[in-house]
């Protein structure tokens, strides 16, 4: 198997001077999920290729967040939650014993709907927080902070106040700070669950640009309620739907153009044209 070739540098080697980890392909097969006895996802399969932005769309409550949280083992932190199926990162089963959950989450980063910087830390400390949490040493902290903030499109706005509290930024800036923080650990995949739904249009634009710029170095999976956003940023799209009292399923997945212009399923057409949801 191709596992050994794609082996990721061990932690101590992860220093900013080195090229970042290669973006990886994430494959979910046959994923089902439950909260207690309630099944909320059924047999979801999706390949999220490297160097591609995959958008997950669908009405509220159809299991998009549940699915994306399964991709980096956040789902199991909810009491009573369980799942079936498998998720592989470049062929390695992330639910197997090859990767500890902390290592999985280090490789597959996540940005949440609500910006969640650490308010007790400065802006610079926030960027470095993931490294500190994992005990990764950095040779040149300042360079890494600048690099990540630049990638997240925040550098120019905060370069003069890196020592200010992370909580002192606006919502849109906080979300970009959180993206910078996620990038600092050099993830192979970045999951984003409605990263712009709490933001103003300008910040949203800025983050969309960031996503496009990051695409070459990290695989991106983004949940969005905004059809235009999905069309603008993604190359691949998966439409989730849950019928009443039934678990969510993927109705249709494929290249974004096809989903928006020539969907095969009439429900997809209705959804992307705003006829429900």
Partner 1 sequence: MTVVELDPSGPSWSASSDVPRPITVRRGFGDRVFRGLAVAAGATTFVVMGLIGLFLAVESWEALQVAGAGFFTDSAWLPTDDPPVFGIAALLYWTVVIAVIALVLAVPVAIGTALFINEYSPRWLRGSLTGLVDLLAAVPSLVYGMWGFYFLQPRLIGLSSWMADHLAFVPVFEVRTDKFASSAFVAGVVVSLMVVPIVTSVVREVFSQAPQGEKEAALALGGSRWGMIRTVVVPFGRGGIVGGSMLGLGRALGETIAVALIISPVFEISPRILEQGANSIAAHIALRFGEASGVALSALVAAGLALFVVTLVVNSLSTIIVARSRSGQGIEL
Binding site for partner 1 (CB under 8 A): 72, 74, 77, 79, 102-103, 105-107, 109-110, 112, 114, 116-120, 129-130, 132-134, 178, 181-182, 185
Of 82 and 122, the one with the shorter C-beta distance to ligand ADP is 82
User: Could you tell which of Mg ion, ligand ADP, partner 1, none binds residue 61, using a CB distance below 5 to 8 A set by kind?
Assistant: ligand ADP
Residue 78 makes contact with ligand ADP by CB under 6 A: yes
Does the protein bind Mg ion through residue 66 (CB under 5 A)? no
Query: Does 65 contact Mg ion by CB under 5 A?
Result: yes
Least distance in angstroms from the C-beta of 242 to partner 1:
23
Spatial separation of the C-alpha atoms in residues 252 and 239, rounded to whole Å: 5
**If binding is defined by CB under 6 A, does position 176 make contact with ligand ADP?**
no
- Residue 35 or 118 with smaller CB distance to ligand ADP: 35
Residue 195 touching ligand ADP (CB under 6 A):
no
| 112 contact, one of partner 1, Mg ion, ligand ADP, none, CB 5-8 Å limit per kind | partner 1
- One character per residue 9-48, x = contact with ligand ADP (rule: CB under 6 A): --------------------------x----x--------
The Cα 184–Cα 207 span in angstroms is 17
Which position's Cβ is nearest ligand ADP?
Answer: 65
Kindly indicate which of the ranges 61-69, 88-96, 153-161, 210-218 contains the residues binding ligand ADP, using the contact rule CB under 6 A.
61-69
**140: its two tokens:** 């040149």
Binding site for Mg ion (CB under 5 A): 65
Residues lying near ligand ADP in the complex (CB under 6 A) are found at 35, 40, 60-66, 78
């Amino acid at each position: 198997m191709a596992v050994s070739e794609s082996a990721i540098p061990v932690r101590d080697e992860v220093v900013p001077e080195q090229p970042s980890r290669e973006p990886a392909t994430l494959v979910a097969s046959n994923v089902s999920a439950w909260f207690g006895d309630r099944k909320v996802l059924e047999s979801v399969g999706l390949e999220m290729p490297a160097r591609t932005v995959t958008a997950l769309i669908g009405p509220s409550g159809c299991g998009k967040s549940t699915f994306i949280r399964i991709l980096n083992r956040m789902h199991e932190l909810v009491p009573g939650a369980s799942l079936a199926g498998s998720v592989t990162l470049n062929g390695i089963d992330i639910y197997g014993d090859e990767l500890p959950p902390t290592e999985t989450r280090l490789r597959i980063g996540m940005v949440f709907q609500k910006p969640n910087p650490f308010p007790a830390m400065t802006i610079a400390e926030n960027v470095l927080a993931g490294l500190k949490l994992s005990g990764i040493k950095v040779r040149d902290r300042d360079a890494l902070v600048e690099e990540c903030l630049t990638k997240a499109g925040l550098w120019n706005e905060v370069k003069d106040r890196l020592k200010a509290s992370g909580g002192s930024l606006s919502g849109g800036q906080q979300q970009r700070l959180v993206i910078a923080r996620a990038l600092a650990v050099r993830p192979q995949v970045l999951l984003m669950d409605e990263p712009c739904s709490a933001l103003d249009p300008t910040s949203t634009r800025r983050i969309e640009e960031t996503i496009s710029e990051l695409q070459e170095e990290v695989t991106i999976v983004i949940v969005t309620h905004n059809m235009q956003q999905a069309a603008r940023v993604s190359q691949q799209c998966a439409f989730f739907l849950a019928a009443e009292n039934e678990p969510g399923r993927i109705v249709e997945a494929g290249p974004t153009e096809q989903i928006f212009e020539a969907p095969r399923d009439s429900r997809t057409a209705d959804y992307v044209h705003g006829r429900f949801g």
